[in-house]
């Protein structure tokens, strides 16, 4: 079975995660998909296969060398797709030999994937692309990663002449809601280091990510008949709006790039009586990250000075920049860079403007850089994945396994 065959099969599973259920996995579709993968891994003949009650699936491809000093390494991908858009009834289509220009995804709804809006499309002229039907996301994040890992393992099993140490693989739930690593048993996984196959376009290699927090600011008002409200009404919606415009307008996702951090207002829920603003706070630099959180505390105090007791603030850290954990073992990045070059992929070492399970896993004792899975425009109907990118990701995994053994 090819990587494409696997991918087209996997995207049929509806595995959207849901942060409101307070369960692990957060949705039943993820466990159904994990059970399917468990069966596939058993049929392949992998060892030490385990699927726990929380939806964490692990397995081993045993090493084929006499030497015992080759470190066990791991490859990890996540089962869930983003809650941002439906992942039910995904109907992928292959555009053969993309010639450039627009790709009509859904003529009835006028959904068009165009290089005018997504210029990166033109980097893949002449290649076969997998696209959506314009109604759902595709699921390359991260079912492309899962397909690539399993295909690479199957290739290594079929080619025993390629020497390798123990290869551990894991597929976990709920990455998209920031909980993928929460119940990941690093000790049971038993690898010295690992790679998440969860990056974007071909060549991406990431070992820096945002420090991340979520902030909820709740404003409690007082509702009075508007005709008789003078000096009595406290309109929490208006006060919440006042808070929002006090944050710097240029430090938002739509105005930042590279290493620049931001404040991002992700939801507003409110009435006159009570309004809640939910923000995510992001910055690569730890000191700036802490200052951004202090700014929320400062603005909350400022609001409460004008409207005593109206505003309350809750801030929770989500994950931290894994660079501080990767730098002491930088050779694991060097191996991935060399593997890419060996299979004629140009490495693009860039900071993640987001987070991966690898960030949290690195702080749990499993250093875990992130490697491209090949997809683009994740989390929406314009998502696509070039087939050659997935095939190269398979080659990179195989080459990493070979290089680790050779070293």
* pLDDT tens per residue across all 407 residues of the chain: 999 999 999 999 999 999 899 999 999 999 999 999 999 999 999 999 999 999 999 999 999 998 878 999 999 999 999 999 999 999 999 999 999 999 999 999 999 999 999 999 999 999 999 999 999 999 999 999 999 999 999 999 999 999 999 999 999 999 999 899 999 999 999 999 999 999 999 999 999 999 999 999 999 999 999 999 999 999 999 999 999 999 999 999 999 999 999 999 999 999 999 999 999 999 999 999 999 999 999 999 999 999 999 999 999 998 899 999 999 999 999 999 999 999 999 999 989 888 788 999 999 999 999 999 999 999 999 999 999 999 999 999 999 999 999 98
Q: Are residues 224 and 242 in the same domain?
A: yes
Domain count of the fold of the chain: 2
Boundary of a domain, candidates 256, 285, 319: 319
Q: Are residues 307 and 199 in the same domain?
A: no
Name the residue range of residue 95's domain. Answer: 3-208+321-406
CA distances, 20 to each of 17, 56, 83 (Å): 9, 20, 11
Q: Are residues 226 and 142 in the same domain?
A: no
Boundary of a domain, candidates 295, 319, 343: 319
Active centre residues (catalytic) = 80, 175
Q: Are residues 276 and 376 in the same domain?
A: no
Q: Are residues 117 and 246 in the same domain?
A: no
CATH code, domain with 217: 3.30.70.360
């Amino acid at each position: 079975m090819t990587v494409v065959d696997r991918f087209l099969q996997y995207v049929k599973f509806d595995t959207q995660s849901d942060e409101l259920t307070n369960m692990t996995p957060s949705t039943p579709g993820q466990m159904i998909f994990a059970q399917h993968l468990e069966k596939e891994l058993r049929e392949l003949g992998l060892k030490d296969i385990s699927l726990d009650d929380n939806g964490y699936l692990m397995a081993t491809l045993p090493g084929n060398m006499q030497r015992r000093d080759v470190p066990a390494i791991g490859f990890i991908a996540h089962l869930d797709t983003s809650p941002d858009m439906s992942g039910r009834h995904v109907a992928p289509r292959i555009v053969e030999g993309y010639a450039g220009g627009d790709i009509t995804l859904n003529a009835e709804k006028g959904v068009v994937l165009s290089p005018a809006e997504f210029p990166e499309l033109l980097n893949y002229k002449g290649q076969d692309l997998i696209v959506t039907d314009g109604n759902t996301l595709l699921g390359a994040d991260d079912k492309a990663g899962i397909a690539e890992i399993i295909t690479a393992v199957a290739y290594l099993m079929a080619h025993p002449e390629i020497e390798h140490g123990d290869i551990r693989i894991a597929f976990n739930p709920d990455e998209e809601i920031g909980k993928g690593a929460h119940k990941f048993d690093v000790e049971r996984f038993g690898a010295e280091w690992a790679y998440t196959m969860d990056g974007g376009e071909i060549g991406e290699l990431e070992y820096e990510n945002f420090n991340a927090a979520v902030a909820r600011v709740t404003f409690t008002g007082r509702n009075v008949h508007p005709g008789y409200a003078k000096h009595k009404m406290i309109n929490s919606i208006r006060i919440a709006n006042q808070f929002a415009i006090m944050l710097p307008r240029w430090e938002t996702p739509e105005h930042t790039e590279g290493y620049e951090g931001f404040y991002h207002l992700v939801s507003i829920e409110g009435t006159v009586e009570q309004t809640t603003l939910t923000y995510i706070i992001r910055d690569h630099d730890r000191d700036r990250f802490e200052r951004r959180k202090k700014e929320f505390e400062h603005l909350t105090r400022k609001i409460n000075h004008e409207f005593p007791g109206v505003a309350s603030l809750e801030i929770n850290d989500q994950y931290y920049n894994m660079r501080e954990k990767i730098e002491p073992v930088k050779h694991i990045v060097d191996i991935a860079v060399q593997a890419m070059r060996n299979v004629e992929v140009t490495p693009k070492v860039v900071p993640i403007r987001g987070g991966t399970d690898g960030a949290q896993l690195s702080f749990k004792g499993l250093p875990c850089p992130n490697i491209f899975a090949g997809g683009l425009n994740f989390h929406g109907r314009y998502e696509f994945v070039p087939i050659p990118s997935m095939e190269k990701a398979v080659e990179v995994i195989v080459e990493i396994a070979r290089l680790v053994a050779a070293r």
